[in-house]
Every structure is written in structure tokens, then in C-alpha cells.
Amino acid sequence: MTTATAEQRSFEADVSRLLHMMVHSVYSDRDVFLRELISNAADACEKLRYEAIAQPELLGEEPKLAITIEADAEAGRLVIADNGIGMSRDEMVEALGTIARSGTRSFMERITAADGKDGAQLIGQFGVGFYSAFMVAAEVEVVSRRAGSDEAWAWSSDGKGEFTVAPVALADAPVRGTRVTLRLMDDAKTYAERRTLERIVKEQSGHVPVSIALVEKPGAEPATLADGAALWTRPKSEISKDEYADFYRSVAGQYDEPAATIHFRAEGRHEYTALVFVPGARPFDLFDADRKGRIKLYVKRVFITDEAELMPRYLRFVRGIVDTADLPLNVSREMIQNSPLLGAIKKGVTSRILSDLAKLAGQDAEVFARIWENFGAVIKEGLYEDFERRAQLLDLSRFRTTASGEGWRSLKDYVGALKENQTAIYYIVGDDAGRIANSPQLEGFRARGIEVLLLSDPVDSFWVSAAPDFEGKPFKSVTQGAADLGLVPLLDGAAAPSAETSEQVGALLASMKEALADEVADVRASDRLTESAVCLVASDQGPDRQFERLLNAAGRIDSAAKPILEVNPRHAVVAALAAVEDGALRSDVAHLLLDTARVLDGERPANANAFAERLNRLVTRSIGEG
């Protein structure tokens, strides 16, 4: 039995200042102290598991490794105990008496030097996490007995500059391992309450490789908080659909079934495991302005953060976890360093999700259609933002078209159905799917059976301006420039749109251009109209009409460019107006036709009072003549 006496020593640092910094600056969330102490305990168990390979006797009569939390809310006392490797006196002084000297790191360096590889799954790296206990504790006591030793030691401190190391009777020490006792501050006594402990363990340490039990009061039966298992570490063949669904609900905070589950382990230069889900329903925060992802980052099965950008923003609906063993962290583990490994993980996980979605689209079109219905508008943001994967995303994308009815069409479907002499992929953009499907600009395309993409999501105006082509076919708006449909044959029985005009109609167009000079850039005969009298289109130069409206609303441009008014020379109204010689009547009808085109385009008449006055004059004249 040892006869050593208590020894009081100073920390090997300016501890009063350094601990103050630790408590008030390094960590922003007090909850983190429990994660850090559990991580240390899990590391101690993993160290023993490793050393017991060569020395099985170290396990003694307690082969099962475990962490126990003892809480006494009334006394303001919290204990975190493990039956891991424990510490000798010298190890205790070195590990706890020198801030930022990590025993875990020293151990890792030792075994790596011995066998040339990292053989233990250990968490601690910086030797500072233990001191987070002083965020909630007025005093901390550590009692430890190293496995195989007949000595036990106690370390205690109030975190203000000194610590005490003293021998402990074996009867007052664990059989092996470490017991950390916190005398909680008055404003931190909730950390000895069951509901608080359960919440923190579940959120941050529920998947460490050692079971965690809670004893609410001395002598009470322990309750299991975590079983030491992490679902994502198991082979996929051993995990049931129900287990995946339960884990999805726990990590996503949703109650639906996942539409797709993607579970894989990346090996090689960068090693990590990912278990992510595509939800079956839209998350409530899908269109939040910050567009943040919700993937949880774990390091060696310990939760680190859900703030790391592990997914591009156009995949922010994906839920799940990524667990890696070698991601570099800062001292608090709360902020991820700008690491090439993090970028590699993001790239790898994104590529895997997109490739699995592409496989799903080919294998189960119905399931993929539901995913696209929920998240297509978000995925298409990548067409504008992710140049590197634009071709892959275009191949994945689905669209409503003039030929799809209520279904979805891929661009491969579209290109496979191109008409004779068709050289472009045509689209129309607007904020109302029903209205754009009935736009007059589509009439000439329908007459030739040319399929047109109906794009009604806000992002559509942006990506079509950035995507140059698909399989060599450029994207072209049906509301911009000339239609150039003359080379595409008409369907049998279709009325022939024509831009040819009689001398009388030519004179009408000239007079309309003069009357509307302040509001339109040109008035011309249309080869795209078959039923309507007029429509508005944008010029060949500049943005599409809908894109221009969005830019104008956002203040990105001072004012919209003047549109072009296209007139159907075969329409009865146009033919009748061409025969009218009354200049005032021609002007009134010309302005009414322009306002009609605006309404068909989803806008309002430019001047409501002038519109009403012209309409009244025209109705009065018609009644009088009748």
C-alpha cells in the first residue's frame, strides 16, 4: 500500500487566464462539456480494448466496457465514470496538469510508431476538452486507477490556477478506469436532471462505441441512454428497411418515410461513411432564405456539428450523417477548419447522391417522379450554380411540356422526339404553369407538333440563361426573337401561320408601330400565331421576357426593354382593322390589342384609366352603329 501524501502543484501554464479563455471563448455552448467528457471516457475504453489484445488480463472480471453517468440534482452533483484504461499518477499529472497536452494524442503517436498505422478509433486530439467541465462546475475531481495497477490517484481543482494530486484508497476508487465528479454551479444544476442528460447524450454522443447508462440517484437502477452501436457502421445487408426509417426520423426530425436511402463507405485516400436520405415529403424549411443543409457531421461517431457545408445548397433537402475518422478540427470541435478533406467529402457525397438518383430514375420512374415533384425546383438551382455537374443535372432533370400532359419528361425524351429540321430545345418561362401552357406564343409550335418545355419555377429563368445546350441542342425561348419555324413541317390539317402580309395589312402594321412607338420596339407580322391576334416577345438581344421581369423586380436593371408586338395577319380582328380608315379608331384598337397582349403575358394594362376609356369609346361606337 502506498504511503505517498497529497501534493499541491501549479498548472504548467498561465492557467487562470487560459482556463478563463477556454470557458468563455473557445466553447459557445455549455452542453458541449458532457460530449467532451463522454468522448474522453470512450477513448479510455478504446485504449483498453487495444491494449487488451496483447494483455487480455487487463480486462479482469469486467470484460464489458461501459460509461456510467450518475446524477444527483438535489446535491448538484454529476459523475461521468468509465471502466477503461485509467491513469497512473504520472499520466494524470501530464494529461490533466498540462493544458493542450492530449494523452490520446500521445497514445496514438505511440501505437502508430509501433505498428505504422492508426489501430485505435480515438476521438481526443488537443487535450483541451476536459477543461470545458469548468463551464458548469465550481470544482472537478478525477479519481483514476490504471488497469492492472494496485494504486489509485485523485486529481482535483477549482480551475483557478492550481490542482491537487493525492493517493486514494483502493476501496474508494474504481476497480479500473476513471471517475470524473463535477460539483455543479448553481446556474448549471439542470445538467444533473435526467431530461437534460438524455437530450445531450442522444444529440451528441448517442453513437459512441461504448454503451452509456444513467443512474439518477445513488443506488438506483441504471437506465440505458445509448447502446454503443451506430447504425451506419453496420453492413447494409444487416439493416432492415424499418431500422433505416427509424434512424431517418430521428436524424431528420420528420415523421414520413424516406423516399430514398443512400448508405456507403468511402475508402482510399479519404475515408468516411455516409448515411443520407431523400425525404418522402418536403421539409418545412426547404425554401428558407439561408438555404442551409442539414447533414450532421460526426468524427469517430461523436457528433461535431450540423453547420458544416457537406452538401451543395441545391441538395439541402437531403438529411443524414457523415462520419469520418480523420477530419482536422479546431480546438473546440465546433468550427471546422478549411480542410481539403471536407471539400473532398462534399464532392464525394454529392456525386454519390446524384448518381444514385440517376439509377433510381432508370429503375423506378414512379418513385423518382415523386422525388422530383417535391424537390425538382430545388435541384434545378444546381443547373445555375454548379457548372461542374450541369450536364449530370440536366440529364437528371424532369419537365412538364406541351407533350407531357400531367407527366414528366426528360431532356433525353425531348431530344429523342425532335421534329424534322428542329435545331433547338424550345421553352417558355412564367410564374403560372396554367397560363404559360395556354400562351399565344405556343400556337405556331403546336401547329407543327414541336414540344415546348413549360418552366414555371422561379429558378428556371436563371438556369436556362446559363445552360448553353443539351447534347448539342441550344435552349431557345419561344418568347424571344423570331420563331424561325418555317423549315419545320406543319401537322396534317394545321392552319398555316404566315408572316406574309398584304399591302393593306402592311400599312396597318406601320400605323400601329407609329401609334405605339413609346411602348414597343417594333410591330411585326408573326409566324408563330395561329389563333390569337397578338402577342409580345423580347428582342433577340438581351434577356427573355420573364427573366427581364425578375431582374427589374429585384432592382438589377433600371427598366425593362421595350418588347416587340407580333401581329397575326390572318386574324379576323387584324383583317377588319386593316380596312378601317379612321385613324383615331385604329389608334384605340392598336392600344387595346397591346394591352390584350400584356394580359395574356401575365401583366396588367399599362394605364388602366386609358384602357377603360378606349374600351368605352369602342363599345359606344359599336352600339351606335348597331
Extract the annotated binding site for ATP. 36, 40, 82, 87, 102-103, 125-130, 178, 333
Helices 583-600 and 503-515: angle between axes, nearest 10 degrees: 80
Q: Cα-atom radius of gyration of the chain, to the nearest Å?
A: 36
The β-bridge partners of 474 are: 469
Question: Dihedral through CA 75, CA 78, CA 81, CA 86, nearest 10?
Answer: -100
- Residue 467 neighbours by CB under 8 Å, 6+ apart: 383, 390, 394, 475
- Residue 288 neighbours by CB under 8 Å, 6+ apart: none
Cβ–Cβ under 8 Å, residues 402 and 439: no
Residue with cell 363599345: 619
Burial environment of residue 530 by CB neighbours within 10 A (0 to 12, 13 to 18, 19 or more): buried
The phi and psi torsions of 20 (rounded to 5 degrees) equal -60, -40
Closest C-alpha among 477, 470, 350, 468 to residue 410: 470
Cβ–Cβ under 8 Å, residues 365 and 358: no
> Which parts are annotated binding residues?
36, 40, 82, 87, 102-103, 125-130, 178, 333
Can you tell me the distance from the alpha carbon of 75 to that of 219, in angstroms, rounded to the nearest whole number?
A: 15
Burial environment of residue 141 by CB neighbours within 10 A (0 to 12, 13 to 18, 19 or more): middle
Question: Three-state SS for 72?
Answer: strand
